[in-house]
Each structure stands twice: as structure tokens, then as C-alpha cells.
Amino acid sequence: MDRFVPPPRRTLEPSDELARCLEKPPGETVLLPKALQIGGREFRWARILREFKTKSRARLVQLEPGSVLFIVKFENLFQEFAVMAALKQLNRCWQKTRLCIGQELVQATTFGIFPLGQRLGLVEVVSESCTLRELALGGHFGDRQFRVLRALHEDPRKLERLAASVCAYLASSYALGIRDGHDDNLMLRRDGRLFRVDFGFAFGRTPEIDAPGIFVPNSVAVALGDRWPQVVAGCKRAIRDLGPPERPPAWDVLLKVPELKQLLPEVHEYTNSLSFSSFDYQVEHATDWTLQRAAKNTLREAIRYVTAEQEVEAAEAWWLDPFGFLSSPVAAGHPASQTPHFPRIRPLDN
């Protein structure tokens, strides 16, 4: 009889103990098994603030000392980290060419993404921002198209900044193949910048149900108003600033990103499918209503309803916070028709 050989045991990564520590229920304060070095700072304990009903079982945590907020994801964040590095490279190109909309430099908002192993990673929370879905909470359905304009108080400088950030958002989404667009991963900062979070689908990878790769939500288009032609012209220049016309868009730039080395085969295949004329057409039609995008958001709302994910009551809906992680009652007498509060959160020093 053959001798029984037990199956090999999974090798524990150093991050496994940390993951178990951060999986504690909300409300607990936990001592980290080892001091955590992130972004040049050292953290020794964490407060578990909230658990999300998501596939990754993500949590909002506050790392101490310093009171810095992070999203903990129990999954491999290497691709998101690499995409963020590529996004920073695109920013450097546009900064070098001094690409502007009005007086605002075209730059995509970036933030820290820190892979800590195959099954754990941290995402820095961007201060004074909220999702487009949050902007719609508590208001009348017919007023949804004005949510961005209202949130920015129709401030011309903020709207110009919105235009520049939309240009960066559209050009980078096309160059990097960022997909899975919906109102939960498009965010607006108090200063007017629109930006994407969650880069799990990129370089040709798409979810089963997806929105168009290049789109502008109606509320953003309404806020941009007569600035939209400037955005279209800026986008066409932005994509051409990423490489010579005889080469696939952005390929030469992405070759210079060391973090993309492991992904270069799929990056090359994806960029070979791109063209300047295709991008021009998609940008010109980015504000068009599409059934795919409507279905995407409707399906997410249905799932949220079934799983009882929405925890903020209508009366509280306009007290907004980054990613919808915290909720607090609206101050007495605060009408739902007013603009949302963008909380101040201490950012991670870069």
C-alpha cells in the first residue's frame, strides 16, 4: 500500500496575520501584529470603522497614530497599483506638454494603493470627496442632473477644474482600458476634480455587465455646459500627447512604467486595438445616453436593495463622506435640497 502523503500546507504570508487582525468587526480597536510602514509613516494600531457588503469584504479602517483612513481590501491589489503608477506617468506627460483647459492643468487625481501580499492591500481614502451615487441621495429624481452643478456651487473656477479633470479621466480611461464604470467608482472632490477609483478591470478586461468605456454622466455634462467643446478638444490633444501618431496610442508611454512589466503582454495587445480616430468618435459621443450604463447602475441599485447594503436613510442622505463609508445625521434644519458636506480627512503625506 502506498504511504499516505498529506497535501502541502499553504505557506502563510506575513500579511495573513495582518489580514486576520483587520477582519475584526466594526467598532474594535486592534493592535497590529507588526508596525506597518506605509507612505513613509509608521502605524501601530487600527480602528475598524465599517465593513462593506462587497465580494472583497472590504473595510474602512483608521490607522494610528495619525488618524489616516484607508480601505482594506482582502485581495491582490498589484494590478490596481500598476494602473495607478501608469496614471502618474500620463500625468507627467500632460504636465510636460502644459496641456490645460482654460487655466487648469489636465491632471488625473492619484492616491496611494499599497499591495501587502496576494490577499491583502490598502487604498488611501481621498479627502473631501464623495461618489456620484452619494450626490444623488436624498434629492428628487428629477434633480439628479443638477447634483454636480449644485455640489460645486456653480463656481466658475471649480467648473473649469472639473473640465480639466474630465479630460484626464476620459483620456486615461481609454489609454489604460479602465472599465466597470458606474456611479460608485466615479468620485467628485470639493474642489471640482472628477476621478475614478477601483482599477480591477483594465487593459481589455471587463465585467460580465459593463458600461461603455468612454462616457460622461449626465450630471457632469450638465455642469460642464458650454465648456464641453473645450473638453472634447482637450481630450483629442491629450491622447496625442502620449505618443507619436504612427504608434499605438499610449504604448510608448506605458513602456516606461516599471510597475507594468508583468502586464506588458496584455498592455501591448490592448494598445494595439486602439486608434486616435476611434477615441475621437467615442469622446464626441461620451455624453450620449446608453442602455448599458443605465442597466449597470440599475442592477447595482437592485443588488444593493436586496442585500440591504444601503444604510443611509433618506433624511441623512446629504451628509456625505468618502466612498459612503461614514454616516452622520444631518444637522437640524438642513434641507435636502442644499449641497452636500464634503468632510475633511487628513490625507497621507506623499
| Strand residue runs (E) in 178-220 | 186-189, 194-196
Q: Which residues, 6 or more positions from 286, have their beta carbon under 8 angstroms from its beta carbon? A: 170, 214, 215, 216
Question: 103 and 20 share a domain?
Answer: no
Question: 67 and 177 share a domain?
Answer: no
Number of domains in the chain: 2
Question: 84 and 67 share a domain?
Answer: no
User: What kind and span of H or E run contains 299?
Assistant: helix 291-306
Q: Tell me, what DSSP letter sits at residue 95?
A: H
- All three cell numbers of 277: 480616430
Q: Considering the domain boundaries, does residue 332 fall inside one?
A: no
Q: How confident is the model at residue 300 (pLDDT cuts 50, 70, 90)?
A: low
Q: Considering the domain boundaries, does residue 226 fall inside one?
A: yes
Question: 105 and 41 share a domain?
Answer: no
Question: 86 and 65 share a domain?
Answer: no
Q: How confident is the model over 315-338, as pLDDT tens digits?
A: 233 223 333 333 332 222 322 334
Question: 54 and 159 share a domain?
Answer: no
Question: 20 and 106 share a domain?
Answer: no
CATH number at residue 240: 1.10.1070.11
Q: How confident is the model over 33-43, as pLDDT tens digits?
A: 999 999 899 99
Q: Considering the domain boundaries, does residue 225 fall inside one?
A: yes
Q: Which residues, 6 or more positions from 166, have their beta carbon under 8 angstroms from its beta carbon? A: 194, 216, 220, 224, 231
70 beta partners: 61, 124
Q: Considering the domain boundaries, does residue 1 fall inside one?
A: no
Question: 27 and 94 share a domain?
Answer: no
What mean pLDDT, rounded, does the chain reach? 83
Q: Are 95 and 107 in contact (CB under 8 A)?
A: yes
Q: Considering the domain boundaries, does residue 350 fall inside one?
A: no
Pairing verdict, β 41-51 and 68-73? unpaired
Mean pLDDT of 253-265: 96
pLDDT at 27: 96
Q: How confident is the model over 202-218, as pLDDT tens digits?
A: 998 988 777 788 999 99
Question: 24 and 161 share a domain?
Answer: no
Question: 91 and 58 share a domain?
Answer: no
Peptide bond into 26 cis (omega under 30): no
Q: Alpha-carbon dihedral of residues 34, 40, 43, 47, nearest 10 degrees?
A: -130
Best-predicted range by mean pLDDT (286-290, 293-297, 323-327): 286-290
Q: Considering the domain boundaries, does residue 91 fall inside one?
A: yes
Q: Considering the domain boundaries, does residue 157 fall inside one?
A: yes
Residue range of the domain that includes 27 = 14-73
pLDDT at 292: 59
Percent pLDDT > 70 in the chain is 78
Question: 169 and 56 share a domain?
Answer: no
Q: How confident is the model over 167-193, as pLDDT tens digits?
A: 999 999 999 999 998 888 999 999 999
- All three cell numbers of 28: 474594535
Q: Considering the domain boundaries, does residue 313 fall inside one?
A: no
Residue 346 has pLDDT above 50, yes or no: no
Question: 200 and 85 share a domain?
Answer: yes
pTM, 2 dp: 0.81
